[in-house]
Amino acid sequence: MNSYQNPTRPNSISESEGLPGWTYFSPGLFDLELEVLFYSHWQFVCHVNEIKYPGEFVSYDIGAERGFVIRDSANRIHAFHNLCRHRGSRVVSGKRGQCNKVMVCPFHGWTYNLDGTLRGIARRDTFSESDFSNLGLKRIEFEIWNGLIFIRFKPGKQASISEIMNRHTREIQPYGLDRMIASPKGRITDRIEANWKAVRDVDNEGYHVPQAHPALNDLYGKDYHDETMKGETSRSVGRFTPGPRKHWSVRNYLNILPENNDLPESHRNIWLYIGIFPNLVLGFYPDCVIFYQEIPQTPTLTLQRGGVFHHKDESREMKLARYLSGRIDRETSKEDSMLSVWVSEATKSSAYDKVIFSYLEKGVLSYHDLLREKLPVTKLDVEPATPQLQDLNDRMLSAVT
């Protein structure tokens, strides 16, 4: 079989086509994607053990939305918009930190309890309002799955994260993700000058592994496969190939990696990836669990955030193996970033025409199918005009001249 087939897809685009070029740089579509995909789909923020103590918080910003999760003094977790009810300042600053008993707004000093209720107002007597009781921080919906905290800025049609992940829950249970801690050294944020979908497209297939990723190819190149998306998740597996290794990190990783007896034998020699629509991938390795996530900044700029979770009481060998798997991943992500930039740039070229896909790239196409389902406008070959704003501006201009 050398072409991708999905007889159930109800649209006019040939089954072997990807998204048209304009969808990778259109500002109008970018705004729509934020609304339709990112604000109303679950966004991963952090592991519960990253906010272990009262007052600890981790923030998460995307598009126009700013959020954070925090633990209160009764050990409960909350998710809030990071927006002071006075004049909109951030209440907590930075990517993570710890508040001391209360959150103090850095602008005029309003204070909030760790459960988000308003506690104190500087110079209260200078306000004409008498009732401040409804001015607690605005809540964001959140859900915890296997120790991972997800937030959703706007209610969407998407199911709960535990329903979405249901088909994977049994498989990942032996990894003990909910008991893991985050490695501070494993945190990375890369700036990629590419549309977020180009980054996702590169990641959604393994056809490029033998050519583009010498280390990964050495690790599992001969036995890697992607499954098409089912629901809102994808699954890919790379099984370590036996034989001599050329790559230093891979050779040492496989020599040092101890047998992980918590995992069934079938999972002791694989890297298992689970993609969660639209922008998260979890990687389950014998030595740790990793994640990476694309956070769109502009139509042609994406931040990719990543991190590593591991068991606190891991052996020295396991720690060393984790260090080496991290080296392999850093190398891979540099290679992927370059490819994402090139693919994204190409979509603007006058020479950009239809791209074609191998069966081995079916992960890209099944992801595009889901995008087309949620954003049917991406089926159009030519970018539709987004005249409303421009029209209004033009009309206002002509009214004053």
Per CB under 6 A, residues contacting ligand FES are 84, 86-87, 89, 105, 107-110
Q: Please state the closest distance from residue 203 (CB atom) to Fe ion, in A.
A: 6
For residue 150, give Cα distances in angstroms to 40, 52, 78, 101, 247.
12, 16, 11, 24, 36
Cβ(117)–Cβ(76) below 8 Å: no
In this structure, the dihedral spanned by the alpha carbons of residues 5, 10, 13 and 14, taken in order and rounded to 10 degrees, is 30
For residues 38 and 62, is the Cβ–Cβ distance under 8 A? yes
- Could you tell which of ligand FES, Fe ion, none binds residue 197, using a CB distance below 5 to 8 A set by kind? none
| Token pair listed for 194 | 């590419």
For Fe ion, give the closer residue by CB, 161 or 216. Answer: 216
- Of the pair 64, 159, the CB lying nearest ligand FES is at 64
By beta-carbon proximity to ligand FES, the closer residue of 89 and 113 is 89
Give the nearer residue to ligand FES in terms of CB position, either 107 or 132: 107
Q: Which does 105 bind (CB under 5 to 8 A by kind): Fe ion, ligand FES, none?
A: ligand FES
- Number of separate helices (H) and strands (E) present in the chain: 10, 18
Q: Which is nearer to ligand FES, 76 or 108 (CB)?
A: 108
Nearest-angstrom CA–CA distance, 92 and 209? 41
Residue corresponding to tokens 């994607």: 33
Stretch that binds Fe ion, among 153-161, 295-303, 333-341, 368-376 (CB under 5 A): 333-341
The number of residues that bind Fe ion (CB under 5 A) is: 1
We find the least distance from the C-beta atom of residue 108 to ligand FES, in angstroms, to be 3
Return the H-helix or E-strand segment holding 317.
Answer: helix 316-346
For position 336 contacting Fe ion by CB under 5 A, the verdict is yes
From the list Fe ion, ligand FES, none, pick the one residue 284 interacts with, judged by a Cβ distance below 5 to 8 Å according to partner type. Answer: none
Min. distance of Cβ 334 from ligand FES in angstroms? 41
CB of 88: closest distance to ligand FES in angstroms? Answer: 6
375-380-383-388 Cα dihedral, nearest 10 degrees: -60
Minimum distance from residue 101 beta carbon to ligand FES (Å)? 17
Q: How far is the CB of 360 from Fe ion (least distance, A)?
A: 13
CB of 121 to ligand FES, least distance (A): 8
Q: Which of Fe ion, ligand FES, none does residue 76 bind (CB under 5 to 8 Å by kind)?
A: none
| Sequence letter at residue 112 | Y
Decide if 270 contacts 218 (C-beta within 8 A): no
Handedness of CA 337, 338, 341, 346 (dihedral sign): negative
For ligand FES, the closer CB: 22 or 110: 110
CB under 8 Å to 166, separation ≥6 — which residues?
none
Nearer to ligand FES, 89 or 160 (CB): 89
When CB distances are held under 5 to 8 angstroms depending on the partner's kind, the choice from Fe ion, ligand FES, none that residue 84 binds is: ligand FES
User: Can you tell me which residue has the tokens 């159009």?
Assistant: 380
226 belongs to the binding site for Fe ion (CB under 5 A): no
Kindly give, in sequence order, each residue whose CB lies less than 8 Å from that of residue 152, ignoring residues fewer than 6 positions away: 39, 40, 41, 42, 43, 140, 141, 142, 143, 158
DSSP 230: B
Quick one: tokens of 369?
Answer: 């199918």
The encoded tokens of residue 340 equal 């994402």
Residue 336 touches which member of Fe ion, ligand FES, none, C-beta under 5-8 Å by kind: Fe ion
Phi then psi dihedrals of residue 126, to 5 deg: -90, 0
Contact between 218 and Fe ion by CB under 5 A: the answer reads no
Q: Residue 219's binding partner, choosing from ligand FES, Fe ion, none, with beta-carbon cut-off 5 to 8 A by kind?
A: none
CB under 5 to 8 A by kind: which of Fe ion, ligand FES, none does 110 bind?
A: ligand FES
Least distance in angstroms from the C-beta of 99 to ligand FES: 14
In the complex with ligand FES, the residue whose CB is nearer, 89 or 241, is: 89
Contact footprint for Fe ion (CB under 5 A): 336
